[in-house]
């Protein structure tokens, strides 16, 4: 199934990778708020439709199908090297892991005895180190136990620590190709921050790499060259140093994106009610 996207515009700086002759298709639609896309090595895209309380599965050329009902307001998703699915559940205010048999395990739901705000997005390093954001949007603000917004690190040994407590709300999260830099978008400060990670997953050297983003930055992904793809008012592309490389304009505001297909040269973009598909010559970076 291929749905036309007649008003999609694309502009990429000539100094960037070769993005010539890119075509953008709307490949699925009819959702309330599509978010949290991640590609499975088994050949399909997983994404959340939080308002409808579902996680959905999409295979190119087929309609989206139900992956999980009653998802507890699932938002961000990630896979690890074993093919297990990690999910930020905003309604239950926890992070879960689902094995390939469907068994769900709670990994994080409290910090120092207090419930998390509403975990939003997550990434898993190839060695099993986990990072997630914990902001609070809308009515989530009314039920907060914590007095800060957090970026958290959950080690493969199950130990949890705070990476950062920004004044603004952290949102999207991603890793550099070598897993040594953590990137976090901040929706209130409208920037992307970076943190150096050591071999044990500990973070240091917080810095802003992309300032003054137009719109509200949400999800973020990285290609194999370290370039950043940030969903905001439009999808913006930056170098690892924060230099603007180009932008993708959609008829709907993008929420997130994920590289997929067998060669990882397709960018799937979640944008409100729809999923868009863009074939690139840039290959995505994944940690599994």
Instruction: Write down the domain spans for the chain.
Output: 9-279
Q: Are 173 and 151 in contact (CB under 8 A)?
A: yes
Mean pLDDT of 148-160: 97
Question: 139: how many CB neighbours lie within 10 A of its CB?
Answer: 8
Q: Which CATH class is domain 9-279?
A: mainly beta
At residue 133, does pLDDT exceed 80? yes
User: Can you say how many angstroms the Cα of residue 50 is from the centroid of all Cα atoms in its chain?
Assistant: 14
Read off the tokens for 141.
């603000």
The pLDDT assigned to 89 comes to 98
Q: What is the pLDDT of residues 228-268, one digit of tens each?
A: 999 999 999 999 999 999 999 899 999 999 999 999 999 99
Q: What is the pLDDT of residues 82-97, one digit of tens each?
A: 999 999 999 999 999 9
Q: Can you give the pLDDT at residue 21? A: 61
d(CA 223, CA 193): 17
Report whether pLDDT(122) > 70: yes
């Amino acid at each position: 199934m291929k749905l036309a996207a007649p008003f999609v515009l694309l502009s990429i700086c000539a100094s960037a990778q070769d993005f010539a002759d890119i075509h953008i298709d709307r490949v699925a639609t009819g959702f309330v708020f599509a978010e949290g896309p991640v590609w499975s090595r088994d050949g399909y895209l997983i994404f959340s439709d939080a308002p409808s309380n579902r996680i959905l599965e999409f295979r190119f050329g087929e309609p989206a199908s139900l992956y999980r009902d009653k998802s507890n307001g699932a938002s961000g998703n990630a896979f690890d090297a074993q093919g297990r699915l990690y999910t930020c559940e905003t309604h239950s205010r926890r992070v879960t892991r689902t094995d390939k048999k469907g068994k769900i395990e709670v990994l994080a739901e409290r910090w120092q005895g207090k419930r998390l705000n509403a975990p939003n997005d997550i990434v898993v390093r190839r060695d099993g180190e986990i990072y997630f954001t914990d902001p609070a949007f809308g009515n989530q603000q009314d039920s907060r136990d914590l007095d800060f917004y957090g970026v958290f690190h959950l080690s493969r040994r199950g130990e949890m620590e705070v990476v950062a407590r920004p004044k603004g709300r952290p949102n999207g999260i991603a890793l550099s190709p070598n897993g040594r830099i953590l990137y976090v978008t901040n929706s209130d400060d409208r920037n992307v921050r970076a943190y150096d990670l050591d071999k044990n997953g500990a973070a240091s050297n917080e810095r802003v790499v992309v300032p003054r983003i137009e719109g509200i930055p949400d999800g973020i992904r990285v290609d194999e060259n370290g370039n950043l793809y940030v969903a905001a008012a439009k999808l913006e592309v930056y170098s690892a140093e924060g230099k603007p490389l180009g932008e993708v304009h959609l008829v709907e505001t993008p929420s997130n994106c994920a590289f997929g297909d067998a060669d990882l040269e397709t960018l799937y973009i979640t944008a409100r009610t729809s999923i868009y598909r863009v074939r690139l010559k840039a290959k995505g970076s994944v940690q599994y």
